[in-house]
Amino acid sequence: MIDARALAPLRAALGSRIAIYALLLVFALFYLTPMMVVVLNSFRSFEEITRSSVLGFPTALRTDNWVQAWGTYCIAGACSGIKPYMWNSLMIVVPATLLSTLFGAMNGYVLSLWRFRGSNIIFGVITFGVFLPAQMKLVPWAIVLRDMGLSNSISGLVLVHVIQGLAFTTLFCRNYYLNVPQDLIKAAKIDGAGFLQIFWRIILPLSPPILIVTIIWQFTGIWNEFLYGITFSEGSQRPVTAALMALSANIAQAREYGIESAAVLIAALPTLLVYLLGGKYFVRGLTAGAVK
């Protein structure tokens, strides 16, 4: 016969585990409820939402909201949906992510493996940009973009995000490259390799983990960025985040919650796909030294 006293610790452990999972389930439901409301409303008709409320299940799965949100709904006077603004965001995020990652890797390479007098000070100045509020930079950036003739342009926003991203990419790459043995660099120098040869042939092949981290970080940050997009662009040059703001601020007609919900989900799909495809590599890159 099994002693009841011997089972007591097991019961206590089982009860604690059930309580923990129940609490986590409650938190998960609380966190996911807003997203579920958006998903459900994206399949509900305007009449159905106005007849009841924004909280409810669709009586039938309708894709009209998605079609209109993508290609026909009027945003700030242009009845082309969010499709052109999605392309704007894509034309911003791809070059800005690649350039900021490349320059950050180069900065990290110099500041970690080619030390010089004052390199730590320069590194501190660069990473100081991580802690500066974005609002502090609006006026300087407005002046720079005006003087360069890049106001209200895709190229202007690319420039902003490349410079803004250098603080993060330099921080990540520099800390990662500190783990590269100095003997490897010395051996390459003895073999006659120069600064760029060492970077392209030795450092970059060792960098996929941290480059994946910086690419995912920059892609999601730039795609979801709102302040610079709404400040330095207007009309057809807006990124998708600024277009969503214009869509929700449309007072010329009744709020189309279903279409707005579909537009929000479409706009979120690229970053969601990036995390689904590269999330595990993101964690591996971080643990490989990105936040050393």
Q: What are the per-10-residue average pLDDT scores of the chain (292 residues)?
A: 59 77 90 88 84 80 87 79 92 95 92 83 85 88 92 92 92 88 84 85 87 91 91 88 78 73 91 82 63 45
CA distance 247 to 265: 14
Does the CA dihedral 65-49-241-79 come out positive or negative? positive
**Pair 207, 120 in one domain:** yes
Domain endpoint, select from 50, 71, 92: 71
Q: Examine the domain organization and report whether 191 and 257 are in the same domain.
A: yes
Same domain flag for 149 and 43: no
Residue-number span of the structural domain to which 269 is assigned: 83-290
pTM: 0.84
pLDDT at 292: 46
Query: How many separate domains does the chain show?
Result: 2
Q: Which long-range contacts (CB under 8 A, 24 or more apart) does 58-61 make?
A: none
Q: List the CATH number of the domain containing 93.
A: 1.10.3720.10
Task: In whole angstroms, give the CA distance from residue 52 to residue 44.
Answer: 11
* Nearest one of 284, 263, 272, 162 to 213, comparing CA atoms: 284
The pLDDT of residue 194: 83
Q: Which residue has the tokens 């869509």?
A: 247
Inter-residue contact 137 to 225 (CB < 8 Å): no
Kindly state whether residues 93 and 228 are assigned to the same domain: yes
Spell out the long-range contacts of 150-157 with Cβ–Cβ below 8 A and sequence spacing 24 or more.
151/232, 152/232, 152/233, 152/234, 152/235, 152/237, 153/233, 153/237, 154/88, 154/91, 154/92, 154/237, 156/232, 156/233, 157/92, 157/96, 157/228, 157/229, 157/232, 157/233, 157/239
